[in-house]
Structure 1
Amino acid sequence: MTKRLEYLKNVKGIGLFTGLAGTGKTACCRAFVSSLNPSLYKVVYLPMTTISASEFYRDLAKGLGLEACYRKIDNFRNIQERIKKLYREQKTTLTVLIDEAQYLSRAVLSDLKILMNFEMDSKNYAVLALAGQPTLNDTLSMQIHEALRQRIVINYNMQGLTAKEAADYAKDRMRICGVSRDIFEPAALEAAYGYCCGSIRMLNTLLHRALIIGCEQKRDTVGTETVMDAANEIDLV
């Protein structure tokens, strides 16, 4: 996903990034933002998406350092002028990251294509990245959003970790903690991967719980049985 965000940064416009919960969308966005030169990119991160169109404009206006207006049209004009001024006068590209975008209302989605329309749709002055769960693709497939969908320059769906990546990730996390030997047995890592279905967040939770159980049971290594005990505890929460 990070490479796709880099591509979007270069071409500008709207990008769509989807994936199941816990597959690392927000982490990739965070890594991407940390790589940007703050003198060349103005980043606005919007995680609150269960809002009206007017609230969305006020939130974006505040993110741009503008005084939010009561009327949506005033916020729209001020935001567009601010974006153009940043790009033309300060050589700075606005980069808007909207997280949990699957919750955006139809009104907000309809306005996004208008907000990103510059110079009669002939210029791209900003980057807009929509990150959300796969249901967002279903929403955008509706006829009413055809105009927005046609303006998406890159559409990428995150698949989550593979079995090998999950095992490597677990071992790497342990090395960062100063553990040089393999704490998790290979079969235990396979079981953990099968439970997590590629979700990094779920894998973290499961392995952390397994380590606690293993410590309580004074085990030298974490086996499949311990991982399953951890999974059962999580399911009961």
Structure 2
Amino acid sequence: MYKMFYGLEFNPFDKSLDTKLHFKSQDFTEALSRLEYLKSIKGIGLFSGGAGTGKTFTLRHFASTLNPSLFKVVYIPLSTITVMEFYRNLSFGLGIEPSFKKTDMFRSIQETLISLCRDKRINTVIIFDEAQYLRTEILNDLKILLNFDLDSKNYVTCILVGLPILNVILSKNIHEPLRQRIVINYHFTGITKEEVTEYIKTRLSKAGCHQEIFNQSAVEAIYGCSNGSVRKLNSLLVKCLIIGTQQKKQVIDTDIVMAAQNEIEIN
């Protein structure tokens, strides 16, 4: 109903929108440039940030730009797993039939990664999402698994993505060997106040609405409530549109923003 009331062709704040409609925030631009560099040099990249700051969205966009004839992307979102489950998941992602023995899977994974790079000229990109949940044993094995030719070659691009606590975990002495192998380290700071204004304007415009729906006071309140999280920002904006429609308000003000915030906040 709110789409008709505000003259929108679609929900401009839906997370399922095509990545081509992305908003180029500073975080998005900075992280993407580092991902482009990482794919050219291979090795391990670390990308951290608060919940909803756009980490997974940026990676989804990055993955969508990779030529499937030249890149093989393995995305592993389930991080609360055992060591054996880790090896099995990675084996499945690489198209390998998992063995019952860890040593056999280790050898098969390394051989496959080397073959893809050397023989087939295919660069493998492995993405571990929510990596803050990876067990110490898995992180220990990961540094060994990515050790090729006596640690003289990089045959794969490995991306660790997680909340800020991931940096704390990797700063521990036990993970020093893995930390030294990280060639890119970027932290998402979240969407800024200036970007929120442009984000709302750009998204509404792409949905066919060119009028001012949110006044400046409302935008400032929305920024304060979202705390840099694009996910929370989107939820708040949609709720504002729903309440605004219910109250038949052509322009959304701070009262509607506060009402929307109260509805989505978990007490």
Q: Structure 1-normalised TM-score?
A: 0.98
1:51 paired residue among 81, 98, 105: 81
Q: 2:248 aligns with which of 184, 204, 218?
A: 218
Q: In structure 2, do the counterparts of structure 1 residues 55 and 236 end up closer, same or farther at CA, with 3 Å as the change threshold?
A: closer
2:18 maps to 1:18? no
Describe the SS at the equivalent of 1:156: strand
Amino acid at match of 2:55: K
Q: Does 1:112 align with 2:139?
A: no
Name the count of aligned residue pairs: 237
Distance (Å, rounded) in 1 between the aligned partners of 2:142 and 2:45: 12
Out of 205, 210, 223, the residue aligned to residue 175 of structure 1 is 205
Distance in structure 2 (CA, Å) of the matches to 1:68 and 1:124:
23
After superposition, what is the alpha-carbon deviation per residue over 1:50-83, rounded to whole angstroms, capped at 9, x for unaligned? 0011101100000011101111111110000000
Per the normalisation by structure 2, the TM-score is: 0.87
Q: Distance in 1 between matches of 2:87 and 2:124?
A: 15
Cα deviation, 1:101-132, whole Å, max 9, x if unaligned, reads: 11111111111111110000000000000010
Residue 125 (structure 2) aligns with: 95
Measure, in 2, the Cα distance between the counterparts of 1:168 and 1:226. 20
Question: Pick from 239, 242, 245: which aligns with 1:209?
Answer: 239
Say if 2:223 is the partner of 1:193: yes
Structure 1 match to 2:15: none
4+ aligned runs moved over 2 Å, structure 1: none
Aligned to 1:130: 160
Structure 2 unmatched ranges of 5 or more = 1-30
Q: 2:172 aligns with which of 119, 133, 142?
A: 142
Structure with bigger RCO (C-alpha 8 Å, 6+ apart): 2
2: CA distance, partners of 1:235 / 1:42: 40
Q: Which ranges of structure 1 fall in alignment gaps of 5 or more residues?
A: none
**Matched letter for residue 102 of structure 2:** K
SS at match of 2:200: helix
Identity of aligned residues (%): 52
After superposition, what is the alpha-carbon deviation per residue over 1:134-175, rounded to whole angstroms, capped at 9, x for unaligned?
Answer: 000000011000000000001110001010111111111111
Structure 2 residue 107 is the aligned partner of structure 1 residue 77: yes
One-letter code aligned to 1:163? K
**Does residue 69 of structure 2 align to residue 39 of structure 1?**
yes
Quick one: distance in 1 between partners of 2:100 and 2:263?
49
**More moved, 66-75 vs 133-142:** 66-75
For 1:124, the aligned partner's letter is N
CA RMSD of aligned residues (A): 0.8
Post-superposition offset of 1:236:
4.1
Range that drifts further, 135-144 or 172-181? 172-181
